[in-house]
Amino acid sequence: MAHHPRFAVIVLGMMWFVFCIIAFSNVGFNMLLVLIALPVTALWGVVWLVRLVIALRRQHYAVTVIKNNLSYWLFEPVIVVLPLVLALLGVFSSARFLMSEQALSNYAEHVRAGKVDLAIEFNHLPRRVGLYSVTFTDLLPDGTVRMLTSSHGLLDRAGFANSPHSPPPRQGEDSYKHIHQQWWYWYESW
């Protein structure tokens, strides 16, 4: 008789998948979320491995039992590892950007047209732009609009640059990575 993943495992797997989408779809990586994801992944893997070893020891024909229940035993490793692989490949961040690109483009045009108040100090109240929360916006003399949306590592921040010129001008230790057309990932170094 084949076993199917238990309901609780399916729900936890779905929650894990959603967590990974939210945590790893922004431009930078939030160190706190990484520090949550790593032990969860390790703990889940250890618990799964212990359950597998116990199941193998309890069954007389253990290998046959595992083969007959392959979907049951593979579900958890796949649901834990798959979202991490997708995050590393940039699938989540690319999808989030594509879903928000029009809103980000409109926002950049409004900034260039003077319709958005820029911060007098370093940050402004968060603004919802597409699927991002923009916490800082500036307009460079060449018309490049830069907006921060996330932390990056321990002290740095990250976001987007919309530059009518290619590439955006470098300022300090900031760096850019081209997305497409006039869009760039922007990494603001501390």
Q: What's the number of CA atoms in the CB half-sphere (13 Å) around residue 47?
A: 9
Looking at the fold, whether 118 and 175 belong to one and the same domain comes out as yes
Global pTM reads 0.81
Q: Report the mean per-residue pLDDT for the chain.
A: 85
pLDDT number for residue 132:
94
Q: Cα(186)–Cα(104) distance, rounded to whole angstroms? A: 14
- Positive or negative, the CA dihedral 116, 151, 160, 170 is positive
DSSP state at residue 126:
-
Looking at the fold, whether 38 and 63 belong to one and the same domain comes out as yes
Q: What is the domain extent for residue 49?
A: 7-89
Q: Regarding predicted confidence, which is higher, 71 or 160?
A: 160
Looking at the fold, whether 63 and 131 belong to one and the same domain comes out as no
Looking at the fold, whether 17 and 38 belong to one and the same domain comes out as yes
Total domains in the chain come to 2
Q: Regarding predicted confidence, which is higher, 91 or 157?
A: 91
Please report whether residue 43 resides in a domain.
yes
Q: Cα(128)–Cα(107) distance, rounded to whole angstroms? A: 10
Q: What is the mean pLDDT of residues 22-36?
A: 81
Please report whether residue 96 resides in a domain.
no
Looking at the fold, whether 62 and 127 belong to one and the same domain comes out as no
Looking at the fold, whether 70 and 108 belong to one and the same domain comes out as no
Q: In this structure, what is the dihedral angle of CA atoms 87, 92, 97, 103, given to the nearest 10 degrees?
A: -140
Looking at the fold, whether 73 and 138 belong to one and the same domain comes out as no
pLDDT at position 133 over 80: yes
